[in-house]
């Protein structure tokens, strides 16, 4: 991690481009550090990934008209906090990322950030807040035709409502998630068995005797 920070500092003070003050150099530096961060994240090296994303965010803040880049970095930082079970810390990053994506009209990015925020709330057992965020994310995923995000948010809504004691809504959303696997345009594998188990549990909890299969 120290080497990453040292490298960024040396690049900023490079004699090739003094202070890296030109917009192109700053942009290339930010992209390079971000790519390294993504590589670390894929390897599960979250501390190193966080160092890279924070360094890239610092450089992003030096520039103007970098709303989308900043939103992506905030989204990545929030996701890393989620991966490390640092849910309380992640909240502000998810909120800021969702706001930036929304202001830019980037509905997919907004939906992903809201989904991450909902997950963090669910892990903090704030199921009401989680349900609200999952619902907003679901609307955004629907708007862009993202089937993968659609079923994920339905599953999250099912779990949130189940924890809130509203088994009827839980059943409704679990069934919606399962139905997505029959969409002809679906390209993502849906964990039907997992969702089926949750649906069965909700039905049993509601005292329903209906067939759990679609």
Residue 113: pLDDT band with limits 50, 70, 90: very high
Residue 163: per-residue pLDDT: 97
Top CATH class of 2-146 equals mainly alpha
Q: What is the pLDDT of residues 140-175, one digit of tens each?
A: 999 999 988 999 999 999 999 999 999 999 999 999
User: Which pair of structure tokens corresponds to residue 66?
Assistant: 């970098």
- Closest to 180 (Cα-Cα) out of 142, 133, 138, 147: 147
Residue 50 CA to residue 40 CA, distance in Å, equals 9
Residue 30: pLDDT band with limits 50, 70, 90: low
Q: What is the pLDDT of residues 114-134, one digit of tens each?
A: 999 999 999 999 999 999 999
Q: How far from the centroid of its chain's Cα atoms is residue 148's Cα? A: 13
Residue 11: per-residue pLDDT: 44
Considering only residues 39 and 99, tell me which one the structure prediction assigns the higher pLDDT.
Answer: 99
Residue 90, pLDDT > 80, answer yes
Where in the chain are the domains? 2-146, 147-214
- Could you tell me the CA-to-CA distances from 5 to 49, 72, 160 in Å, in that order? 12, 20, 40
What is the DSSP secondary-structure string of 41-92? HHTT-HHHHHHHHHHHHHHHTTSSS-HHHHHHHHHHHHHHHHHTT-HHHHHH
> Average pLDDT in the 20-47 region?
67
Residue 29: per-residue pLDDT: 55
Provide the whole-model pTM.
0.79
Assign domain 147-214 to its CATH architecture: Alpha Horseshoe (1.25)
CATH topology identical between 2-146 and 147-214: yes
Residue 40: pLDDT band with limits 50, 70, 90: confident
Q: How far from the centroid of its chain's Cα atoms is residue 80's Cα? A: 10
């Amino acid at each position: 991690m120290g080497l990453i920070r040292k490298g960024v500092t040396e690049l900023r003070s490079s004699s090739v481009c003094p202070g890296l003050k030109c917009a192109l150099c700053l942009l290339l530096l930010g992209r390079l550090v971000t790519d390294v961060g993504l590589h670390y994240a894929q390897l599960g090296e979250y501390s190193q990934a966080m160092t890279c994303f924070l360094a890239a965010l610092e450089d992003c803040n030096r520039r103007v008209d970098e709303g989308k880049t900043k939103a992506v970095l905030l989204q990545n930082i929030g996701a890393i906090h989620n991966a490390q079970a640092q849910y309380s810390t992640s909240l502000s990053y998810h909120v800021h990322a969702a706001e930036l994506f929304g202001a830019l009209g980037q509905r997919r990015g907004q939906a992903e950030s809201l989904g991450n925020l909902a997950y963090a709330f669910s892990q903090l057992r704030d199921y009401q807040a989680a349900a609200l965020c999952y619902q907003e994310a679901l609307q955004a995923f629907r708007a862009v035709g993202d089937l993968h995000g659609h079923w994920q948010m339905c599953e999250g809504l099912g779990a949130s409502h189940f924890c809130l004691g509203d088994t009827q809504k839980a059943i409704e959303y679990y069934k919606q998630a399962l139905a997505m696997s029959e969409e002809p345009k679906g390209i993502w594998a849906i964990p039907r068995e997992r969702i089926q188990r949750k649906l069965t549990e909700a039905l049993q909890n509601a005292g329903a005797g209906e067939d759990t299969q679609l």
